[in-house]
Structure 1
Amino acid sequence: MTHLRSKRLPRPGVALAAVAGLVAALGLGATGEARAAEPARVATYTPDASRWADRAHGFASLAGGTTGGAGGKVVTVTDQASLARYAAAEEPYVIRVAGTVAVEPFGSDIVVASNKTIIGVGDTGEIVHGELHLNPGTHNVIIRNLTIRDSYVEGDWDGKTTDFDAIQMDAVHHVWIDHNRFTHMGDGLLDIRKDSQYVTVSYNQFSDHNKAFGIGWTNNVQTQITIDHNWFTGTKQRNPSADNCAYAHLYNNYVSAQVADGDPVWTYGNWSRGRTKMVIENSYYDRVQHPYQADATAELVERGSILRKTSGRTDEWGAAFTPRDFYDYRLDPAAAVPALVKKFSGPQQRIGVTLHVPGAYPTVQAAVDAVPDGNGVPVTIAVAPGTYREKVFIPAAKPKILLRGTGHHRSDTVIVFDTPAEYGGSTGSATVRIAANDVTARNLTFSNDFDEASVELKGEQALAMKTTGDRIVFEDAAFLGNQDTLMTDSPKLNVISRVYVRDSYIEGDVDFIYGRATTVIERSVIKALSRGSTTNNGWITAASTWTGNPYGFLITRSKIVSDAPAGSFHLGRPWHPGGEPNAVAQVLIRDTRLPAAIKSSPWTDMSGFSWKDARFTEYQNYGPGAAESQDRPRMSDEDARSHTVTAYLAGTDGWAPHVRH
């Protein structure tokens, strides 16, 4: 067997010193023994986001790691036939289980092949009356956020006549079982058997059962397994039982309310059997017979756990092993375990599907392509820091995508291309196009770095971003370009789409915020770039609002900056695409600082259409560019009260993305 020592990664979570301080605050002695029989209060202890991390930890993270179906298509299943087809397929899949999948005949297997992620949608995905089965040789499987329940046959408490486990695997490697609920099955809930290796079992609930979780069924000593933050309640034995494991690391598990049937031997918590080397850390045992025990041939090291109203064996002998020789991990204080595990184990509403770029998906577009058409549940595309020179299109059939840069700053993650409108029109020039509804982009930079000064072309439009979908949100984003940087549009003139831009940065020179979508730009910086003129360097906006839409562009609580000379930049002009008379620009700039570069008469005509026929107004702007003039419409206090962020975005469905901040 290959030696498992690996390069350590930076430790997530709290430092050891902080943990030690928290342990002391929660009433634990130096050895972790409780000073009182009752669990300490943990109301001030806040868990971190790593409890929903979408990458395997522990032994499943070693020797190449466990990525499941990453890189494959994402599919959503609602019936047994679809689940069975995708689970057994040769190619990788991320399989989302939506609602209840009832398995027939009762107790049947769903075979899971290699390179699969099976994950419940929200906290309601479940498999009833059936087993997920991994045959020998299967590898790289993730099973998350599911309830698997109810294959128990009345009268078969000992599981002697059926073998209807929730999950069973033989001679597999690299498997991560996380945030599931297992209850009321035939025979075992989770059986990890016959030399399976590199396995992590985390944040699961095991309940209402006799034989909860068994590991082994072999004379070899090969299995390496991490078991953390699981809740065993209303179970009798195998919580877990580990037979001939090379390394079994158990930490922060909660064993409580054990079945009390008077059995003096086969009612127990953890058992280190055969030649297993087991380490138990900071777990909590409440009303458990034989909390942890070891065969004479096995080794068991325990530290930091709490025993409450327990009886029987608490064996400790041998040196076992040092888990941190293999991987880093975060230990929660034992006193905090009951509250944490009750809250965070089992299926969670917030666990979804995250597609990683690069790695699982080499490009942003590849990750978008993996999202299923008609997507009904949010999917996150997490983009690592770097520069991605590609065009990205999110089609209308792929809604509910969160595009998120994972760097510390939006400038760390850049999606950029250099196409001008000369090649494919203004739409074809866009680096990123979003046609889908309910898309959010966060902590990213979108750029079109076409150099308008280097090549003479008929059209210099070069979009960084174009949207036509509804309910689009940009948070902490940057849009870089020159002419036509950001276009917020809709599928057609009389269809209203809404876009909300917050805490962002937009730069350009000519009409660089334009289109007919209802668009709110709040708490952002808008930079008007100089083109070298002393009289006219460009226009910030070019709205084409449908005349039937009272709300076009609202720029509020923001700051416009410029490197252009004083009095050389316009706030906007009215765009009537193709001479469309029913495109009547509506722009309100309010509560915003204006630079000296803004003209005293900041609105101009366009293509024969007078700016005075458009709906251009300002309200309570300030700064050197906000001086009063005759050609500068001001909104009244009364009208300003109805031209708010809420009014612009609410539509008919009450959309209010700004309220969450």
Structure 2
Amino acid sequence: MTQHLDSKRLHKPGQGKVLAAVLGLVAALSLGAIGEARAVSPTTATPASADRWSDRPHGFASLAGGTTGGAGGKVVTVTDQASLAEYAGAKEPYIIRVSGSIDVEPFGSDIVVASDKTIVGVGDTGEIVHGELHLNPGTSNVIIRNLTIRDSYVEGDWDGKSTDFDAIQMDTVDHVWIDHNRFTHMGDGLLDIRKDSRYITVSYNQFAHHNKAFGIGWTTNVQTEITIDHNWFTGTKQRNPSADNCAYAHLYNNYVSAQVADADPTWTYGNWSRGRTRMVIENGYYDGVQHPYQADATAELVQRGSILKNVSGRQDAWGTAFEPRDFYDYRLDPAAEVPALVKRFSGPQQRIGTTLHVPADYPTVQAAVDAVPDRNAVPVTIAVAPGTYREKVFVPAGKPNLVLLGTGRDRSDTVIVFDTPAEYGGSTGSATVRIAAHDVTARNLTFSNDFDEAAVELKGEQALAMKTTGDRIVFENTAFLGNQDTLMADSPKLDVINRVYIRDSYIEGDVDFVYGRATTVVERSVIRALSRGSDTNNGYITAASTWTGNPYGFLITRSRIVSDAPDGTYHLGRPWHPGGEPAAVAQVLIRETELPAAIKSSPWTDMGGFSWKDARFAEYRNFGPGAAVTADRPQMSRDEARVHTVADYLRGTDGWAPYARH
């Protein structure tokens, strides 16, 4: 903002913001029941099923340097064969999102996948039809997830002898993760992992309605290390899987069911440990399977904990094989739960998309934002590991549908901070984070501008932690740290109505530290009004500049305002008319919120020659030592309050209801 206190700037001695000192307070303050402070619970705690969508490989693919796919590369979305082939075969790393169905021509053709690629279906509708993903010898570090690959079957060729049209085929590769895909009705095998391929994990896939499901080997060497877990083999005949000359084959929590009815006494089977394979099977479930698991005399097979139902034929187990936990940790689900778990979680999933990790995949938050496709239509999550990131971040209007997610236990664990004041770039230029895009959500993060206004004498002390000019912006369990102008919720121009929803969060500052013209709801949050050392005027919480045609400006509801300022020295707000604009008529409602003794008995005040009495300021059913009903404190009536709810402020013309998730 460009309008300031007319009086001399006042600072409490030694009041320069020390980030480390305030983060503990931020982590400790939140709001449960109205007026009741509580410790923040672990916001990243997730159900036991969360790791079933993990975007990091487990098992053998996680070893020997791990499998990262296209991490660090640009994110692209493809909808046609030419684009898929171009990016999949490129030398550079790419994260390739397949949107919709891609029909491959000529029928049965290969799409060659080069090293350092992630290919992931968007939502659960990404498909490759009539074609194969092929990894040539020497390919390394590939992730293929969340796709349906189907229908290269040649009618009448049940044994796949006339074609070699697999869903995925790889020869002599390393570090590959095949996860959450659906394979069905292909010309030969569904998945072929061949010729000394190493460090492979195959997890949560569906192999359906086919003769040859999943083969491993075609080599005399004993090198392949492979983890196969939580896959569903249904309506298949053989290779569920067949593992030939694998050094280590670890199968756990797989479900083999509804085997193709076939009188073939040999080539209708479940799992087969062939050649010199060492295989361990744990907690599988076999229902209606002939030869559920078998081993050559030269192989080893250890089985423990599996359930067999309506089975017949061989159930071989001999030798010691190996101990998987000597290589990696893993969690076994009870065998009895496997059918339900695998039916629910295998195959393409709506919630699997692209997650970009900072700093594992990208060194900075801004680098991850830059990697997101322009005009992004499907949510991309930028997962930020615990730490302090001293950088400015800008989410441009052309990169909507983002989730900024701190992955620490508390919001104070992950901090984005910078120290620019408005004098060096204006209020917009001072913002640590700017969000110009629509449909952006931030969770479990702290945003800070730690410019020390007490240490430097400047003409303008605004120093924003956050500025938004997009619509449908959500902040959940976030913190905003600053002094003057901490949080600006705005729009590109006066008569554009954008909406911001802030819940279970923490905001601190002193002068106009919640301000702007966006329709903004602050719910179930803590607002800390910092003392500037004055005995009479320590600052202003809000400075709204709502367009006169917009009935809804700022709503602070079911929250708690706290302050260490002396009693009666803080304003609830003042009306900001940027550039003297008469059509910017502040609207602020503070309702059902605890107010501290620091609040003035006449809490609204004039600004820039505009009277607060001409603005739309009101309270409703506030409480606490700073609450009162006087002639200088307009109170909203019960009837008016019925149409000034969270829903009324945020609904707009599109029915936006972010609060409905809670």
| TM-score normalised to structure 2 length | 0.93
1:143-154 paired onto structure 2 within 5 Å: 143-154=144-155
Following the alignment from structure 1 to structure 2, what is the Cα–Cα distance between the partners of residues 501 and 587? Answer: 15
Size of the aligned set, in residue pairs, is 616
Partner Cα separation in structure 1 for residue 534 and residue 496 of structure 2: 38
Alpha-carbon distance in 2 for matches of 1:210, 1:554: 62
Q: Give the Cα–Cα distance (whole angstroms) in 1 for the partners of residues 373 and 56 of structure 2.
A: 21
Map 1:597-636; keep pairs closer than 5 Å.
597-636=598-637
For the pair 1:589 / 2:590, whether they are aligned, the reply is yes
Contact 2:133 2:168 in 1 (8 A): yes
Q: Deviations over 1:557-609 (max 9, x none)?
A: 00111111111110000000011110000000000011111100111111111
In the TM superposition, what whole-angstrom CA distance separates every residue of 1:40-88 from its partner, at most 9, and x where no partner exists? xxxxxx8521111110000000000001011111110000000000000
Classify the secondary structure of the residue corresponding to 2:60. helix
Q: Percent identity?
A: 85
- Give me the CA root mean square deviation: 0.6
Tell me how far apart the structure 2 counterparts of residues 237 and 359 of structure 1 sit (CA, whole Å): 39
Partner of 1:642: 643
Deviations 1:222-276, CA, capped at 9 Å, x for gaps = 0000000000111110000000000000000011111112111111100000000
Partner of 2:562: 561
What is the aligned partner in structure 2 of residue 218 from structure 1? 219
Q: Are 2:263 and 1:248 aligned?
A: no
**Contact 1:472/1:499 (8 A) holds in 2:** yes
Distance in 1 (CA, whole Å) between partners of 2:631 and 2:266 is 94
Distance 1:497 1:190 in 2: 49
Contact 2:629 2:635 in 1 (8 A): no
Partners of 2:638 and 2:298 in 1: how far apart? 84
Aligned to 1:369: 370
1:508 alignment counterpart: 509
- Within 5 Å, give how 1:222-621 maps onto structure 2: 222-621=223-622
Q: Which AA in structure 2 matches 1:461?
A: Q
Q: Which residue of 2 aligns with 1:23?
A: none
Deviation, 1:359, is 1.2
Give the alignment of 1:48-63 within 5 angstroms.
Answer: 48-63=49-64
The residue identity in structure 1 corresponding to 2:567 is A
CA distance in structure 1 between the partners assigned to 2:360 and 2:485 by the alignment = 33
Structure 1 residue 352, shift from structure 2 partner = 1.1
Whole-angstrom distance in 2 between the partners of 1:185 and 1:540: 64
Q: Kindly indicate whether the alpha-carbon contact (under 8 Å) linking 1:78 and 1:98 is maintained by their aligned counterparts in 2.
A: yes
Instruction: Quote the residue 1:100 is aligned against.
Output: 101
Q: How far 1:629 moved relative to its partner?
A: 2.2
TM normalised by structure 1 equals 0.93
Alignment of 1:19-98 (within 5 A): 47-98=48-99
Alpha-carbon separation, structure 1, partners of 2:502 and 2:261: 59
Distance 1:487 1:167 in 2: 50
Asked if the contact 2:515/2:544 (under 8 Å) is kept, the reply is yes
Which secondary structure does the structure 2 equivalent of 1:368 belong to?
helix
Kindly state the Cα deviation for residue 628 of structure 1 after the two structures are TM-superposed.
Answer: 2.3
The CA deviation string for residues 369-404 of structure 1, in whole angstroms up to 9 with x for no partner, is 010000000011100000000000000000110001
Equivalent residue, structure 2, for 1:29:
none
Q: Distance in 2 between matches of 1:154 and 1:633?
A: 78
* Aligned-partner SS, 2:236: strand
Residue 13 of structure 1: aligned partner: none
Which residue identity does 1:651 align to in structure 2? G
Runs (5+) with no aligned partner, structure 2:
1-46
Secondary structure of residue in 2 paired with 1:582: coil
Give the structure 2 partner of residue 12 of structure 1: none
Q: For 2:76, what is the secondary structure of its paired residue?
A: strand
Alignment check: 8 A CA contact 1:600 1:628 kept:
no
Deviation for aligned residue 1:659: 1.2
Give the whole-Å Cα distance in 2 for the aligned partners of 1:59 and 1:552: 54
Name the structure, 1 or 2, with higher relative contact order (CA <8 Å, separation 6+): 2
Inter-partner Cα distance in structure 2 for 1:132 and 1:48: 29
Which SS does the other structure have where 2:336 is aligned?
A: helix
The one-letter code sitting in structure 1 at the alignment partner of 2:606 is D
Q: Distance in 2 between matches of 1:517 and 1:244?
A: 64
Look up the match of 1:9. none
Report the AA paired with residue 137 of structure 2.
P
* Cα-to-partner distance string for 1:472-520 (whole Å, 9 max, x where unaligned): 0000000000000000000110000000000000000000000000000
Question: What residue in structure 1 maps to residue 13 of structure 2?
Answer: none
Shift of 1:528: 0.6
Q: Point out 4+ residue stretches in structure 1 off by more than 6 angstroms.
A: none
- Contact kept? 1:519, 1:552, Cα under 8 Å: yes
Measure, in 1, the Cα distance between the counterparts of 2:627 and 2:257. Answer: 68
Distance 2:127 2:531 in 1: 59
CA shift, 1:205, in A, is 0.4
Instruction: Give the Cα separation in 2 of the matches to 1:584 and 1:107.
Output: 65
Give distance in 2, aligned partners of 1:151 and 1:491.
Answer: 51
Contact 2:116/2:141 (<8 A) preserved: yes
What residue in structure 1 maps to residue 130 of structure 2?
129
Is 2:169 aligned against 1:165? no
SS in 2 for 1:48: helix
- Give secondary structure in 1 for the equivalent of 2:166: coil
State the alpha-carbon separation in 1 of the partners of residues 125 and 225 from structure 2. Answer: 31
The answer for unaligned runs of 5 or more in structure 1 is 1-45
Residue 37 of structure 1 is matched in structure 2 by none
Residues 307-358 of structure 1, C-alpha deviations (whole Å, 9 max, x = no match) = 1111111111110000000000010111111111111100011111110001
CA deviation map 1:512-541 (0-9, x unaligned): 000000000000000111111000011000
Determine the C-alpha separation between the residues in 2 that align with 1:278 and 1:329: 16
2:187 paired residue number: 186
